[in-house]
Each structure stands twice: as C-alpha cells, then as structure tokens.
Amino acid sequence: MKIHFYSNIIDLEPIYKDLILLELEEHEYKELILIAETTVYHAVINIILTELKDGDKKVFLKLLDKNDHNGIWEHLGKNITNIKDLIQKEVSLVIKELRKDIHATDNKL
C-alpha cells in the first residue's frame, strides 16, 4: 500500500483480510487491492475538495502534488473543521460497501 497523507487515520486491513479469504490468484488479489485503495483515495480527495473553497483547493492540490503530508494536514486543519473525522466517516462508508461486495462473492465470509 502506498503511504498517503491520510494513511495514519484509516485502516484497510479488513479489506485485505477479506480478499485473502477468497483464495484468489496473486494477480487478482493485487488488482482488487489496487481498486480498493484507489476507491478510498478518490473518496478522500472528493470529501476534501467538496469542503474547501476554490482558492484553498488549489493550495491543497499543489501540496498533494508535492506529497507534503505535513503541509496538507496544516492546510486542511486551518480550512476544514474536523477534517479527520470527515475523512474517517467517508472512508468507513466506502470500506463497508467494498466489504459488502466482497462478501457477496463468497458465502465463506
């Protein structure tokens, strides 16, 4: 898993464990992990861009491009109230849906 600025506040381990139980080929497992991580990434970026004002969006995107984790959190903390809670809430919904889809593919889970 790539380390993103939000990696310390979310846990994708339940998805990884669910996918392991499906007994997939390694390439299938890796592809599904990539899809899950990308889905979470897009959800995080979406919630942030929805909450930020236009000028602040540009600053955020520049910090994101530089991979400046500290700068990102500082910027978000100044401009969005309870941003960590918002991200965790949004990601928990995404993870719940992903796990629901995984479980629907195999009755063993």
Give me the torsion for CA of 86, 88, 93, 97, rounded to 10°. Answer: 150
Residue % of the chain over a pLDDT of 90: 87
pLDDT category at 105 given cuts 50, 70, 90 is confident
Mean pLDDT, residues 83-99: 97
Compute the average pLDDT of residues 32-37. Answer: 95
13 has a pLDDT exceeding 60: yes
Region 36-50: mean pLDDT is 97
Residues ≥6 apart with Cβ < 8 Å to 25: none
User: CB–CB of 44/91 below 8 Å?
Assistant: yes
pTM: 0.90
